[in-house]
Amino acid sequence: MTTSALLLVSGHVEGVVRVLAVPDGTEAHRLTGRHLSEHAGFLALPRGRVACVDDRRGELLVLDPFGERLVTAAVPVAVPAEHLAADPSGRRVAVTTGLGKNSGPWSDLVTVVDLATGDAARVRTRTGEPGVTLPGREDPLVVLRHREPGALAVHRFGDLLGAPPGCPPVTPRAELPLPADGHGDAHDPLTGAVFAATGEGVHRARAQDGTLVPDPPIPWGAPARGWYLRLDPVRRALWSTLRGGPADPLRWPEWTNRAWRHDLGSGRTELTGLGPGLVFRLALARDHAAFTRVHPDGDELILLHTGGGLRRCPLPPMDGAPRRGGTPWEGVQRRAVAASPGADWVAVTRGGHGEVHVVDARTGEEAALLGLGAGLHHGGHLMLRTRSDGAEGDPVGR
């Protein structure tokens, strides 16, 4: 297949995964009966491949959207999947479990998988919703980011993979203290550093001699915090969106939002105002960071040029969108956004309408409106890839 950019569209509620050419929307692949974990998201692997978790079947899937056969591997894992990450080679993967449709933490299972051999093991750690990163190359670490109490728990991948049957409990080789409100993880394969977003700032540590060595936290630089963290492997930066304003989720239209970018080389942090409402995940295109902002007065796609400059692109409203007096995430429609560091396209869903807007980030103009017929409830989930875009340089599921 010669298509330069492909868009993976997951209707996780409906149980359909489509692979579409960008920008014309030609369908290259379709999977039915697959309900992917929206929270664990898509994980970029080398050679344009993608990993994800089917929450209903309990399988880690490896997809090759550019190949003749889409599903190239399916390995049983514990679910509901909460977080998903790989080591720098893309060979070793870890999947943690979360709440799913339950009201409180109940699962303590973590699954590790060696994609080269198909070997897998499940172990018990701590009940909760741990984040995960896999720093190191020969025998990488599995670093679990726990909450309440907060900690970075350090395990060796080989130790977990060699665990006996029966989901045995495991004890960390080491632990680093962390504030109890951690939410958001990143890993820099170039330096072996791992990062965890907390209310205090971005805590960081380096993999060294089979353990972690802490470094000073990175401050947010604003009276707000990021709930999402990702690495830009091309420009060597960390990105987040800082949310401030009232803590009451019923007052979400008053939330403030800033784009947060921290250059890992210079140590400089830049903040850019995005406007009020709900802004959460972001996507990284060739020269832009893309954000969606949901607000009762109108939604928009925001394109922030990595060299400076911001463009706002209005989006049509969603039926069932969050409203004043309600929360922005319970029983409402949402938007997903995707981009590739190897392309200028940005894709945004219109939750509940079965539509995907494809926008040229260079101009802010819509290049195509892809109609899927119906669905994409809760916004669906997206990933945009080119075969050699280097997105696997961010080895955490998004």
Domain 6-393: give its CATH architecture.
Answer: 7 Propeller (2.130)
Residues in the chain: 398
Burial of 331 (0-12, 13-18, 19+ CB in 10 A): exposed
Burial of 190 (0-12, 13-18, 19+ CB in 10 A): exposed
Burial of 22 (0-12, 13-18, 19+ CB in 10 A): buried
State pLDDT tens for residues 91-136. Answer: 999 999 999 999 998 999 999 999 999 999 999 999 999 999 999 9
Alpha carbon 201 to its chain centroid, in Å, reads 19
Q: Which two tokens stand for residue 168?
A: 């045995």
Q: Give the pTM.
A: 0.96
The SS3 call for residue 325 is: coil
pLDDT at 158 over 80: yes
State pLDDT tens for residues 52-99. Answer: 999 999 999 999 999 999 999 999 999 999 999 999 999 999 999 999
Q: How confident is the model at residue 2 (pLDDT cuts 50, 70, 90)?
A: very low
Per-domain boundaries in the chain = 6-393
Give the C-alpha separation, 149 to 43, whole Å: 27
State pLDDT tens for residues 352-393. Answer: 999 999 999 999 999 999 999 889 999 999 999 999 999 999
